[in-house]
Structures are given as C-alpha cells and as structure tokens.
Amino acid sequence: MEFRLNEDQQMVRDSAREYAATHVLPGAAQRDVDREFPIVPFKKAGEYGFTGVCVPEEYDGAGLGSLELTLVLMEVNAACASTGVTLSVHNSLCLAALINAGNDDQKARYLGKLATGEMLGAYALSEAGSGSDAAALVCTARADGDEFVLEGTKLWVTSASHADMFVVFARTSQEAKRSRGITAFLVERDTPGFRVSKKEDKLGIRASSTCELVFEEVRVPAINVLGEVGHGFPIAMELLDGGRIGIAAQGVGIARASIEASARYAKERHAFGKPIAKFGAIRAKLAEMRARTDASELLTLRAAWLKDQGESHTVEASCAKLIASQNANFCAREAVQIHGGAGYLEDFPVERYMRDARITEIYEGTTEIQRMVISREVLA
C-alpha cells in the first residue's frame, strides 16, 4: 500500500495548484458577486489539459486517470467552487459519457473539441418531478425514421448558459418499466427547437449557471444515441459514480480553503491581548477541521483509485461524497465562527465557502441518497 503520490501525480497537482492560483482565484469573489460564469478560467484550463483529463491522448486529451482528475478538482475547488463544478461536470459527466458509452464515430466528432475546451459539456437528467428519483423522468424521445424527436423540460442543468453539448436522458418507451425505457442522447446547443430557458438564482456557487432546458420538437439524429436505445439509465448511474468523486473532491477543496483562511486569520486577529490562535477553543476547531478533511481526502482518493483499477466503486464514491460534503459544511461553518463578525461579511472568503459548501450535500445524489446506497451494501 502506498499513501504517497508518484512524481507524475505530484506534477499534475502542482500544475493544478499553479493554474488555480493564477487563473481561478483572482476574480473568484467578484465572479460570485456578479454571477459571472467562469468561461475564462474554463478556456484557460484547456491549455493545462484540465478540460480533458481522462480523455485518451489520441483524442487530444491528457490521457490521465480519475485520481489525477480528483487532484485537479481539489485544487480548483479550493480556489473557486463555481469553476470546480464546471470542470467536474464537463469531465466527470459529459466527457465520461462519451468515453464510457460513445462509439468511434461519436468520439471522433466530439471528444477532441470537448477535451481541448473548444466545447463545454453539460448533463441533463433532473426534471421537475424527478431529482433523487431519476427513473421517474417524463421527457420523451419518439423515434421517427433515422431521428428521435425530443419533447419536455429539464431542470437545474449546470453550465447550461454556456454549454455547447448536452448529455440528455429521455424516455423512449412508455411501456418499458421506469428505468428500462430511458435513452441517453448527445444534443448540440444549436439544434432547432432546443433552448436554454430560465437561469436560477442560487445561495452558493453563484458564478456557476444552473438553467432550465426546453425541448420543443427537437430532432436529434439517431447517430447521437449514446449506447443502446433503452439502456440510458445505467449510463446515467455509472456517470454519477464518477461524478460523486468529483463532488467529494469539491468538498475537500472547500474544506482545505476554510482551514487555510482560518489559520491565517487566527494568527492575525488579537483578542484579550493575544492572537486568537493561542486559545484552546480555536485550536480545537482547527484540529478537528484538519483531521476530518484528511479523512475526506483519503476516502475520495480511494474511490478514484478504485475507479482507475476498473473495480467497483459505487459504494466507495458514495462514502467519499457523504463524508466530504458533510465535512465541507462543517469546516466552512467553523471557519465563519473563527472569523467572528468578519466571517459574516463578504470582505472575507469564508462566507462564500459556507454558501458554496451547502450544494455538495444536494447535487449528484443528496446525503440521504448516499446513505441509501451505502446502507444497501451494509445490509446485503
């Protein structure tokens, strides 16, 4: 067993750290205030290979694994969770859909453009009546010659304001039971009848966009079906296993940033004639934050490592997401507490961390859903 990153992995982490410090952190607070989508940091990520981390080199990707993607996402999320989720959805949900289920023609048409960051990817599963219960989705896709006609509405689609490519899940059979009647499609932004509708106002990750998608008689060529007709649901679930590692990495990033900001502030801020870092109560908080974040990080890296070995990682990804997302909330909340009144102001980053942390317990499977996945295995 080896707990140390190898030299190549250290280089990836250092490069991600440099990218985050130079191109993501500056402006992160302002983008949050302005609700400005991080398209500039996203395009810059393309120059570092971070828009196609797991894409084979023959398709212009970095040819790396899930562990390296996790290292990148931890660094980026420590600087800006909005940029972090943009890269996570692009890599773990959209690109992974093509890598896992795409055929040679689909890969040739889209992988390169997505891997270099020329195109931005999104993932559209949720609907008004189907979030946790994803198999209840009602968006339809009717076969018509060598096309499918999509009708319906998708909700809460990350990056939709700027995305060029959408992995969309729709019902192709009303007869087949629930999950068996669902098919995955690749839908390009400029397809007639397709439009990105309402953009949501949010508590956190405010620079990331979250939008409704409307499909009105949208004709998608059958060559854009991902995998087989009626087999979209397993594709969606397998992608979420990887996506959950990405959100766990987001939790680790936010927690790390909370610790760093708190340590800095605790050494500078004086009360009762000494730095607050001298008080046992503050030290105890910092120690708890550090220990729990280590645990989150190890769980997240374990899940990514298992994925790279081609082994089952569903439960491990859920464990990582469950713990890392709860810890992100714990650390961000403690960080605000350590900052006292200053922590409640926009002048310090910790109030943003606290708002951003909240979503990690909700998207890509809520805390309750992760517990369901894990307990199912415990009881099996």
Ligand X SMILES: Cc1cc2nc3c(=O)[nH]c(=O)nc-3n(C[C@H](O)[C@H](O)[C@H](O)COP(=O)(O)OP(=O)(O)OC[C@H]3O[C@@H](n4cnc5c(N)ncnc54)[C@H](O)[C@@H]3O)c2cc1C
Answer yes or no: are the C-beta atoms of 351 and 343 closer than 8 Å: yes
Min dist CB 84 to ligand X, Å, is 13
> 97 or 359: whose CB is closer to ligand X?
359
Min dist CB 293 to ligand X, Å, is 23
Give the whole-angstrom CA distance, residue 95 versus residue 245: 15
Min dist CB 32 to ligand X, Å, is 14
> 231 or 371: whose CB is closer to ligand X?
371
Per DSSP, the residues of 315-346 read HHHHHHHHHHHHHHHHHHHHHHHHHGGGGGST
With residue 225 as reference, give the H or E element that holds it. strand 225-226
Q: Which of 59, 39, 40 is nearest to 114 (CA)?
A: 59
Min dist CB 369 to ligand X, Å, is 6
> 11 or 128: whose CB is closer to ligand X?
128
> 19 or 123: whose CB is closer to ligand X?
123
> 125 or 252: whose CB is closer to ligand X?
125
Q: Which position has the token pair 């280590």?
A: 294
Min dist CB 338 to ligand X, Å, is 27
Answer yes or no: are the C-beta atoms of 179 and 236 closer than 8 Å: no
Query: Which of 368-372's residues contact partners 24+ apart within 8 Å by CB, and which partners?
Result: 368/132, 369/132, 370/244, 370/318, 370/319, 370/321, 370/322, 371/322
Answer yes or no: are the C-beta atoms of 319 and 374 closer than 8 Å: yes
Whether 351 is catalytic:
no
> 334 or 364: whose CB is closer to ligand X?
364
DSSP assigned state of 200: P
Min dist CB 156 to ligand X, Å, is 3
Q: Which position has the token pair 């009546």?
A: 129
Chain residues in the site for ligand X (CB under 6 A): 89, 123-126, 131-132, 156-158, 202, 210, 359, 362-364, 366, 368-369, 372
Rounded to 5°, angle at Cα 306 from 303 and 308: 110
Answer yes or no: are the C-beta atoms of 251 and 298 closer than 8 Å: no
Set 316, 334, 351, 364: catalytic member: 364
Question: Which active-site residues does the annotation give?
Answer: 364
